[in-house]
Amino acid sequence: MQIHETENETDGSIDLMINMGPQHPSTHGVFRLVIWVDGERIIKSEPHIGYLHRGSEKICESEHYSQIVTLFDRMDYVGNLNSELAFCLATEKIMDVCVPERAEYIRVILCELNRVASHMLFYGVYGLDAGAMTPILYAFREREKIQNLFESVTGARMMHNYIRIGGVKENLPRDFQQRLHEVLEHLKRGIEECDALISKNEMFLARTKGVGAISGADAIDFGVTGPALRASGVVEDIRVTDPYSIYDRFDFNIPVGTYGDCWDRFYVRVEEMRESVKIIEQAARDLPEGDISAAVRRIVRPPKGEVFVRTESPRGDLAVFLVSDGTDTPYRVKVRAPSFANLQALEQMLQGAYLADAVLILGSIDLIMGEVDR
């Protein structure tokens, strides 16, 4: 940490400027946060982003549609399948492709598993942020099961390139249902264990309750979406309010917090894991037989036009704005990344908090820097 001193103009005391990052272990990537403190209280903060900027949106303009899916894998690298889905939905919408039923169900099952894996990672890392070493070991044990299942389906543990324009890459392996059942049984026990481990722990509650609170109205004004918004008591989940794919067929609840503090943001995600398991069970029960991909040519040339598609990624409202000029590469791809929008509320959350809580507040937004910088 670099430390600078400046004189406070109002009372003549000395304010410290503290540079947190870009290589700080608790910033979940390369992210720099400049904090001004008066004593132990944060009076001002300023996020600096761009250290992981790879120009993904610009690269999209020179790649074929089928190649862009690999770039979307690398934007949100914890919820890969959800990012892939957002781009494929946008392309399918502009081409007016009807995706086969079975492919839709496979997508939902894998995306929800990915959501659980992502929230599991958040759970473990948030334990570390709060100073607890145990949760991450439990979280990784559960996440490993999900990733093994992904490996058996997609061939990769993280960068799948499995969801394709018009469907999915290949059919599920023969023993998928049985393995999925085992993973779900394991997950249900695991989620309860994880919940019992720290959610009601007195020290954890003391660190997170009432810290970094943001009201629902403020959160909406900042453009916060996903679990961070629902923690503030706003019922907004695109899977329910603006359903895409086949999410309108499943019966699940939207977990909502009350105060919008760090504990609410943490617990909304724990609850969401339970709801995701419910969705997976329903989808696995109804999984139909049939085609896994629509007849789409390898080099896709969508008609001229533009589409805007919103999906609910593990971190919030992941939207893709796609402009096609009729050639085999898109004219423009704009990604509305949930992490980037959620980051904007950080300054408000940090205002007046203790310096020691800065890491906890930052962690509770669940930032993925690959998505913020793109």
Partner 1 sequence: MIGDIIGFIGGLAVTLKSTWREPVTAEYPESDKRLNLEERYMGFPALTWDGDVEEPYCTGCMVCIRECPTQCMTAEMKDNPLYPEESRRRKIVDTFEINLGRCIICGICVDVCSFDAIEMSHEHELSKYERNGNRVDLQSLISMGRSYQQKVGWEPKNPGKNRGTPQVEENSQSAINDAEVTDSRSGEPMEGDECPDL
**Contact residues for partner 1, defined by CB under 8 A:** 63-64, 66-67, 70-71, 134, 138, 141, 144, 148, 151-156, 159, 161, 169-170, 173, 193, 196-203, 205, 295, 297-299, 328
Distance, CA of 249 to CA of 282 (rounded, Å): 9
Q: How far is the CB of 332 from partner 1 (least distance, A)?
A: 19
Cβ-Cβ contacts under 8 Å for 169 (sequence gap 6 or more): 154, 161, 162, 163
Long-range contacts of 241-246 (CB under 8 A, 24+ apart): 242/310, 244/89, 244/309, 244/310, 244/311, 245/85, 245/89, 245/104, 245/107, 245/108, 246/101, 246/104, 246/105, 246/108
Q: How far is the CB of 70 from partner 1 (least distance, A)?
A: 5
Question: For residues 204 and 250, which CB has a smaller minimum distance to partner 1 in the complex?
Answer: 204
Q: How far is the CB of 157 from partner 1 (least distance, A)?
A: 9
Question: For residues 184 and 365, which CB has a smaller minimum distance to partner 1 in the complex?
Answer: 184
Question: For residues 64 and 332, which CB has a smaller minimum distance to partner 1 in the complex?
Answer: 64
Q: How far is the CB of 224 from partner 1 (least distance, A)?
A: 28
H/E stretch holding 20: strand 14-20
Q: How far is the CB of 59 from partner 1 (least distance, A)?
A: 9
Question: For residues 14 and 159, which CB has a smaller minimum distance to partner 1 in the complex?
Answer: 159
Question: For residues 24 and 169, which CB has a smaller minimum distance to partner 1 in the complex?
Answer: 169
Q: What is the 3-state secondary structure (H, E, C) of 134-182?
A: HHHHHHHHHHHHHHHHHHHHHCCCCCCCCEECCEECCCCCCCHHHHHHH
Which amino acid does the sequence have at 20?
M
